[in-house]
A and B are shown apart, each in its own frame.
Chain A
């Protein structure tokens, strides 16, 4: 069975500082990994994905994520946080092979203070 863990319910960071939102995963084979963001009263928006290739993936709004196979992690990062980045962030995983569906983490609330 596949699973995702987001160990922090909330991350607080000051505007202009770097941010990291953590995600670890478990799958039987190779993973497909995704990050989504949700603003209040909205659906989820796709940020970036890891399929194969470079371990550092760049996505929308200046976000990037680093895939680490040995640590089974896919942490979301941004060099300089904006107040407008404040939102709920979800990590998701599915296996590369087979016909499995996405499994989402429980979400991490990011709060960026001015």
Chain B
């Protein structure tokens, strides 16, 4: 079974702090994704990566950056945390099979509160 592990289930940080959210997958998947989930808004894509050291902006990249130095690890960085970044953050991964129709596998999420 695919395992996507997010380093923290709950995190509380202060406004202006630099925040790191870590995600590791154990199935050698090429693709990795970061979403945020807010009530009534569903999932919105922040950043994604199709390979090591590659990154692409999603729908809401402002205020975030990412790092993918190793294939199994994809980090989300809040450069200077603000209260409107309080949310549930979900990491996902999927394999590349040539047609990109494979389901994404999700971690259990990090509930981040910015005070």
Contacts and interface: CB of A to CB of B under 8 A. Distances in A.
Interface residues on B, range: 20 to 34
Interface in A99-114: 99, 101-102, 104-107
Contacts of B12: none
Nearest to A33: B101
A36 B35 CA distance: 15
A49 B104 CA distance: 11
A99 B98 CA distance: 11
Interface residues on A, range: 20 to 34
Given A43-B4, A101-B58, A106-B41, A51 B101 contact: yes
Contacts of A107: 42
Given A41-B108, A43-B4, A43-B109, A49 B41 contact: no
Interface string A72-107: 000000000000000000100010100101101111
Interface of B: 4, 9, 33, 35, 40-45, 48, 58, 90, 92, 100-101, 103-109
Interface of A: 9, 32, 34, 36, 41-46, 49, 51, 90, 94, 96, 99, 101-102, 104-107
